[in-house]
Amino acid sequence: MTSPTRYEIEIRGRASDRVLRPVVDEFRIVLTGAGTTRLVGEIRDPAHLHGLVAHFTSMNIELVAVRALDPEPPHHQGETPS
């Protein structure tokens, strides 16, 4: 079994509640000033990623980018992130 990987999925336009309903609990959603919607969260495995792509494709949503993100380094107690 593979460990989850953090991804950023960027889609064209301001995504509606209907489009985001299946992913709202799994991803942080950011509406950008460039007119796109970014979803950031963990993808469990390739099947999960393909399922998300299939969902957006079935709703005729244009994917702008799908990026694997570097893991966030763990923060130690007493440290502040830079």
Span 12-63, pLDDT tens digits: 999 998 899 988 888 999 999 999 999 999 999 999 999 999 999 999 999 9
Rounded to an integer, what distance in angstroms lies between the CA atom of residue 15 and that of residue 19? 6
CB 59 within 8 A of CB 19: yes
What pLDDT, on the 0 to 100 scale, is given for residue 67?
95
Q: Would you give the DSSP letter of residue 63?
A: E
**Structural domains of the chain sorted by starting position, each given as residue range(s) with its CATH number in brackets:** 5-68 (3.30.70.1060)
Q: Which residues touch 16 (CB under 8 Å, ≥6 apart)? A: none
Copy the structure tokens of residue 75: 């923060």
What pLDDT, on the 0 to 100 scale, is given for residue 75?
59
